[in-house]
Structures are given as C-alpha cells and as structure tokens.
Amino acid sequence: MNIYKKPYIIAEIGCNHKGDMTIAKELIKVAKIFCNVDAVKFQKRHNKELLTEEQYNSPHPNPANSYGNTYGEHREFLEFDVQQHRELKTYCEDIGITYSTSVWDVTSAQEIASLNPEFIKIPSACNNNVVMLEWLCKNYSGEIHVSTGMTTKTEIDALVMLFKKHNRNKDLVLYNCTSGYPVPFEDVCLLDINLLMDKYKDEVKHIGFSRHHLGIAVDVAAYTLGANIIERHYTIDRTWKGTDHAASLEPMGLRKLSRDVHAVYKALSFKSQDILPIEQVQRDKLKNQKG
C-alpha cells in the first residue's frame, strides 16, 4: 500500500514562449507528449497596474535579455492577452493537459478567473497582495496555489489564516520555494518542506515544491519529503534569449524528472507480506542450498 499522494508535475512555461503563440503551443505539446507532465503554466501581468511609471519606462536591468527598449516594452512584448490565454487553454484541453496561469495583479486575476482554469497560481512576489487574494477567495472556485519564496514564517501564517477566514484553506496549495535564478543547492533548504508539512498539511489541500535549481535530484527528494506537487520552469532551449531560460529544464530533463518522481512514488510502500511473490522464487532456489 502506498501512503504517499500521487505526484503532480507542472511545467512552468511562464514567458519562455518569447511572445510567440506558435512556440507556446509547441511547448504545451512537448510537455504533454514527450515530458509526460500533468499541467503547463503561463504568467499574466497587467504591466501598467503592476509597475510604477518609472519602472515601466526604465531600461531592462539586463539589456541582452530584453525584448524592448524599456522594461515596460519588454514585458508587453512577452504578454498574451486574455483571448490568447483562452486559445491556449482550449489547445491544452484538446490534447489532454491541464492549463494554468500565475497572476501578478487584480486585473490579471479577474481575466484568468473568467477562463475558469482548474487552478490559479500566485507567485512569491505577490503572495502579500491581500486585495487580489481576497478577490480570488470570493470569486474563483478552483484551487489557489501560492509560492512562499522570500516570505517569512509569520507572513506564511497570515496567508493561511486569510484562506481560513474565507473557508478556502482546503483549496490552498502551499509551495516551498526559494526565490533565485538559479538557486544553488545550499539555498534550496529542502527541510523547510518538513516545517510546512508539520504545520499545514492538515490545514491546506497539498504542499508543493517550486524551484529554479539545476538538475532533477532535488525534486525527487522534495517529493519524498511530502511535496506531491512539483513545479519546474521549462523551455525548449536553455540558450534562448530571456531571463528564465538558463534556470529552466529542457524537454529531456523534464521527461526524466517526471519518470523519476513517478518511479519513486511506486517504490514508496511497505511490503504487503514478509516474502513477496517475486522473492519466493529466489527463496525456493537459493535460501536452503546445501552448504
């Protein structure tokens, strides 16, 4: 008997589509057919609501990754409108993979909620946006996934209390996260999953794990510690222009992650009897040999 929850793997496409719907659909198709994951996730921003005028009109901090003359132009270039998101959701449904999106502001939350996805994600940067969280609690009936990067334990407590106040904590998925691109192994801090499990596993729906580290060994360990939902950034080519590509998995890496986590899920069980049928053959043959 397996006492672990079945793993659920999310390919975070984010803005790795480079503002191109054809690339976005290719990323979805590869995630489904080749990588064998459960869901893909994009991002939605209303940039003039999210950024100050100064931030919007300033140069990108890393011009080599910019798709515009200013940071605002860069963000707008990578942004899909709500109708494009509707098209992507329909495409996901057509090929049998779950669509979702991270929302960064109230307008984006309202637009994506109108599409009624299975879940909506709140990035670490926005998990203190009480107005957005309360709007979603009151107006959106699906799961709400929240990352806890760059967030204190007191702030996580307040976040869970907000969901409990609205009787939505059983729709809450709380992600262990370290905000960095990429995150070195010594800053992954996997054992913080134990803290979330001990404190919140009976309060929320699931505990998840979201990171931008290298390789896939850490994700297997995260699952073993109890984070049954694993989210990783994903791209076709890590050398592509853009901020997130270098900290993302390519298709083969994501495929191996899904394979390994599901293999561990099958292995995490107790023996159903002292001598398993697979062992009985060997026992009969080897156990009582004359010495």
Cα–Cα distance, 179 to 187 (Å, whole number): 9
Cα–Cα distance, 228 to 165 (Å, whole number): 25
List pLDDT tens digits, range 228-280: 999 999 998 777 767 777 778 999 999 999 999 999 999 999 999 999 999 99
The mean-pLDDT minimum among 19-23, 98-102, 143-147 falls in: 19-23
Cα–Cα distance, 281 to 285 (Å, whole number): 6
* Nearest Cα residue to 196 out of 179, 183, 216, 178: 178
Q: What is the mean pLDDT of the chain?
A: 93
- Helix 251-267 crosses helix 217-224 at what angle (to 10 degrees)? 30
The mean-pLDDT minimum among 118-132, 143-157, 166-180, 225-239 falls in: 225-239
Cα–Cα distance, 164 to 84 (Å, whole number): 34
CB 144 within 8 A of CB 136: yes
168 membership: H or E segment, kind and range: none
CB 244 within 8 A of CB 181: yes
CA 71, distance to chain mean position in Å, is 25
**Nearest 10 degrees: Cα torsion 175, 180, 184, 187:** -50
Report the amino acid identity of residue 72.
G
Residue 102 DSSP SS3: strand
For the chain, domains (ranges, CATH) are 8-287 (3.20.20.70)
CA 138, distance to chain mean position in Å, is 23
List pLDDT tens digits, range 192-216: 999 999 999 999 999 999 988 888 9
